[in-house]
Structure 1
Amino acid sequence: MKLPAYWMTRPAPPPDRRTSASFDRLLEQALANGPDEPIDYRLEAPKWQFLCHAADRGRLLLHGSGDPAISRFEPRQPDDSSEFGNRRAVFAAGDGLWPMYYAILDRARHPMSLINGCARLANGSERLGEPHYYFSISAQALKQQPWRPGTVYLLPADTFELQPRMRVGDVSVQPAQWASPVPVTPAAKLAVQPEDFPFLDQIRGHDDERVWARAAADPDGFPWHEEA
């Protein structure tokens, strides 16, 4: 089974061994330095590849924000329609690309609704498929190009719980969302610019009222995609 074509995959193959080794060295140095200063990123490989590498190692989760100076993440109650997301918690992603979307969206200056997700195909085996992504914001906000510089925080995964598997249409998927019921202190952070996000030009625009109507009629129909 496959997800619909509007779900996107990572835009390049995994980094080669030499690049992965460079990522490992930078990551270990960043964790040793701590979160007070952003990672001094000077590698040729794009930042999103480094963040995906950090997440794929399994010991860290990532959180994107426009605030560059968060020293402690406190649990909060989001406005989320899903059972897992409708809880007071610190939320993070087991993926490097997804949190970049949150980091670069200027929601303070541009009110918008978000429809987004990152999930891997669950084919009944322990090994999951490659990550798939969906990114959309309110169409009126998209017209304003509501981008900003942001920060992706690397968080220790110890206190987090993984969202259970779910179905998207006829496909079983494993979402990349995790939640911690207790405060979390970041281990490191990386500054990002809108142009660092490889899906910037693929962020879709949706009509809020139509999406709400579709969601009310079919609560399990995420992401309630509608072709233009």
Structure 2
Amino acid sequence: MRPWMLEAPPLPVSPDAEAAFRAALEGPAPLPAGWPRWQFLQWVAAQGFLLHGSSRPDLTLFEPRTPHDLSPDDFSRRAGVFAASDGLWAMMYALRDRSRVARMLNMALQVRGADGWSSMRYFLSLAPREGTVTDGAALLTPGTVYVLPPEGFGQMPPYDWPGLGTVREPQWLHAGPVRPLLSVPVIPADFPLPVGTHDPARTDALAAADPWGFPWPAARE
């Protein structure tokens, strides 16, 4: 694994917490005290639901769109409704402050080894609009993660990453509109991983020269 790849903190779900999680998913019911939102979202994804992070708290329908993406694969640039089968990846999109963040450089993936797929590995770096912020966590703001039904979604196929091996992303795509089942408010303190910063122009240039060099030197500083 690469040094910049991060893992989620270990936090096993107790039977009591799982019962409370299920009640919160099925009903209106509060989340159990002491359990972080990211752990609830990871549990929801493990039940087969998909997640979509947004800065807006009032969405009732997701329409297909074409994203701006530097990834070398075609799947990430297709038009549709994107969703994640991973809570932390969805939170990255929910928590970025669009008014102060020009671009986001992020990743969630597993690497296939001799014993199967690795645990999920993450990376998040934000490009500040004003160019003076060096603390990536300061560029986060409250957002919302929406729970989506899995029907009609297709997962991005595994692919070969030169120098790393076969990888799999928790990225899913639906060609048509999708209505959410539940919304989960999140705040910056809910996110358990460090957040970096980068210069988007320099990173774009490096990405054009080396499409597989993620996250490129500009995002590692």
Shorter-chain TM-score category?
0.7 to 0.9
Aligned to 1:128: 117
5+ long unaligned stretches in structure 1: 31-38
Offset of residue 44 of structure 1: 2.0
Q: 1:98: how far off?
A: 1.0
Whole-angstrom CA distance in 2 between matches of 1:22 and 1:221: 42
Shift of residue 212 of structure 1?
1.3
Q: Does residue 177 in structure 1 map to residue 171 in structure 2?
A: yes
Q: What residue is the counterpart of 2:155 in the other structure?
A: 162
The Cα shift of 1:128 comes to 2.6
Is 1:188 aligned to residue 182 of structure 2? yes
Identity percentage of aligned residues: 37
Report if the CA contact (8 A) 1:66-1:104 is conserved.
yes
Question: Which amino acid in structure 2 is aligned with residue 123 of structure 1?
Answer: G
Partner SS state of residue 8, structure 1: coil
Counterparts of residues 1-228 of structure 1 (less than 5 Å) = 3-30=1-28, 40-58=30-48, 60-82=49-71, 83-107=74-98, 109-123=99-113, 127-138=116-127, 140=131, 142-143=133-134, 145-168=138-161, 169-199=163-193, 202-226=194-218, 227-228=220-221
One-letter amino acid of the structure 2 residue matched with residue 112 of structure 1: A
Q: How many residues align?
A: 213
Matches of 2:121 and 2:12 in 1, distance apart? 15
CA distance in 1, matches of 2:169, 2:18: 25
Is the 2:41–2:87 contact (alpha carbons within 8 Å) kept by the matching residues of 1?
yes
Q: CA RMSD in A?
A: 2.0
| TM-score normalised according to structure 1 size | 0.85
Structure 1 CA distance for aligned equivalents of residues 30 and 54 of structure 2: 18
Q: One-letter code of the match for 1:186?
A: P
Instruction: Tell me the TM-score normalized by structure 2.
Output: 0.88
CA contact (8 A) 1:165 1:174 kept: yes
Q: CA offset at residue 142 of structure 1?
A: 4.2
Question: Which ranges in structure 2 are unaligned for 5 or more consecutive residues?
Answer: none
